[in-house]
Chain A
């Protein structure tokens, strides 16, 4: 290789890394600016939500060859739930984990494109990174209702989530009472996100987190739930009318799916 060729090669490498750099910059620039915080914004998703039937995270990442079959199978099934993980993970930590996750499939936004649990992608993954399982045994994540945003917990009748859930009968517990038709999602939830999609609240009142993240926040979440159940009528009234309903009304104006 002559010196001139070497120079060219160096320049090219430079240009390529610059382009790569701009890719990560792009992520920063386009990190969605939403008018309202999502449900349970204090709880992180805890990593990427994988398609159903994925192996344990580490084994999955090692096995998945980023072929895109699952992405396109999901598209062919008309669900379009799966996207390719971005160059740098937007879920907090990012860093090396984000870089290693790049290229692998994940469910990008359940508010628009949840997984319908058609179970085609695990059947078709050529690398065996996704393996066929029964619908009820899927462990994509765990759906958590934000009780401060849910219509049902704030004096209304809704239950859209439980109607949307493909395994609703087993997953939903109901606490119907004077404060509304109050739904609660138990641990049999598989995390498909259909409930997220069909929640009528602007931006949804439900958030799906990874199973591992759920284990981490479980104590706090169920603690809050218990507190809410035992709250006196007056305190509940103040919270519902003082804090929750104004938030709910504001989000009700979210007609456009601005967060897409």
Chain B
């Protein structure tokens, strides 16, 4: 990762061409994501660094981890505050108390898959900005939806979203299922097909409505979004350099309005996933907007 940071200084792309050349922060976060996925894949050859999936996992055969929404889901469906689950969710909560919704930009595999869908689409459409539709669905719907999911979980006594719909559960279920199928280990085909169709469905949704899932619906992201309000990380701005080109706003696929907050000390928007596209996109070449863990 440090190598990549040095890369960032080397041959900084000029603003006109920045969409073609690799963007430093975008590349760094891909390294983080792919690193995590690779560690999860290594579990199939019995490397016990990350075992399980992003819904719940076992790190270095020692630390159990649970996604925060999945924890809430299990809590509601079982109506039981178990110590085990609490111990598993605490480290995750600590991480995202520092990094806020960075989970979405740096860890979630869908973010990467969505980017691929976007690229596939742009190959025919040329301009990246053309994919920015006028979204008139309020991101607040997601919180209502998350609450509804929790209610269903409570009624069914099954973690409803986490078990059936979750992109995280289904992504890793598909991965494990596929690998087990290939290795002739016990797996039911219906599991692969179910999880495959959920992921495929999400990709189709992405094709027609870019980032609608992340911005409006995803309860996992919404939960981490709440952390944005209290987390240490924030976007901070250097004073008086903004050319008011609004490139940052255009680059942000979570539709955070950045430019209008430039005069403030920091921005902790509930939708910001700290992907750094605004930073990379800014015409000051990253001098104006910065990611900071303080002030």
Contacts and interface: CB of A to CB of B under 8 A. Distances in A.
A binds B: yes
Interface of A: 1, 5, 8-9, 12, 15-16, 19-20, 22-24, 26-27, 30, 58-59, 61-69, 71-73, 75-76, 78, 80-88, 100, 102-104, 108-109, 112-113, 124-128, 131, 260
Give the 9 A-B CB pairs with smallest separation, nearest first: A67-B56, A128-B84, A19-B197, A86-B188, A126-B64, A69-B52, A87-B190, A62-B78, A108-B186
Contact of B53 (A68, A76, A87): A68
A78 B46 contact: yes
A68 B55 contact: yes
Contacts of B201: 12, 15-16, 19
Contacts of A26: 189-190, 193
A194 B159 CA distance: 32
B275 interface: no
A259 B196 CA distance: 25
Contacts of B208: 5, 8-9, 12
Interface string B179-203: 0100011111111011011101100
Contacts of A102: 163-164, 191, 194
A137 to B, nearest CB: 18
Contacts of A67: 52-53, 55-57, 66, 70, 169, 172
B8 interface: no
Nearest to B169: A66
A22 B193 contact: yes
Contacts of A59: 78, 80
A113 B189 CA distance: 17
B82 A63 contact: yes
Given A23-B193, A126-B85, A75 B185 contact: yes
Q: Which residue, B57, B82, B163, B196, has most C-beta atoms of chain A within 10 A?
A: B163
A1 B133 CA distance: 11
Interface in B117-172: 136-137, 156-159, 162-164, 169, 172
Given A19-B200, A65-B74, A68-B172, A76 B51 contact: yes
A66 B184 contact: no
Interface of B: 43-44, 46, 48, 51-53, 55-58, 61, 64-66, 70-71, 73-74, 77-80, 82-85, 88, 136-137, 156-159, 162-164, 169, 172-173, 176-177, 180, 184-191, 193-194, 196-198, 200-201, 204-205, 208-209
Nearest to B136: A1
A84 B187 contact: yes
A65 B55 contact: yes
B178 to A, nearest CB: 12
Contacts of B78: 59, 62-63
B157 A125 contact: no
Q: Which residue, B83, B136, B184, B194, has most C-beta atoms of chain A within 10 A?
A: B194
B175 to A, nearest CB: 9
12 contacts: A9-B208, A63-B80, A65-B56, A65-B159, A68-B169, A81-B186, A84-B173, A102-B164, A108-B187, A113-B185, A124-B51, A126-B65
A5 B193 CA distance: 27
A212 B158 CA distance: 21
Contact of A126 (B57, B73, B172): B57
A72 B51 contact: yes
Contacts of B80: 59, 62-63
Contacts of A73: 51-52, 58
Given A65-B71, A73-B58, 7 more contacts: A19-B196, A27-B189, A67-B66, A68-B169, A69-B52, A87-B193, A126-B85
A124 B64 contact: yes
Contact of B84 (A22, A104, A126, A260): A126
Nearest to A24: B190
A127 B88 contact: yes
Contacts of A71: 176
Q: Which residue, B53, B83, B193, has most C-beta atoms of chain A within 10 A?
A: B193
Contacts of A127: 56, 66, 74, 82, 84-85, 88
B44 A126 contact: no
Nearest to B47: A76
Q: Which residue, B66, B136, B158, has most C-beta atoms of chain A within 10 A?
A: B158
B43 A76 contact: yes
A75 B187 contact: no
B162 A65 contact: yes
Given A66-B169, A75-B43, A125-B84, A16 B197 contact: yes
Nearest to B202: A16
B169 to A, nearest CB: 5
A63 B159 CA distance: 8
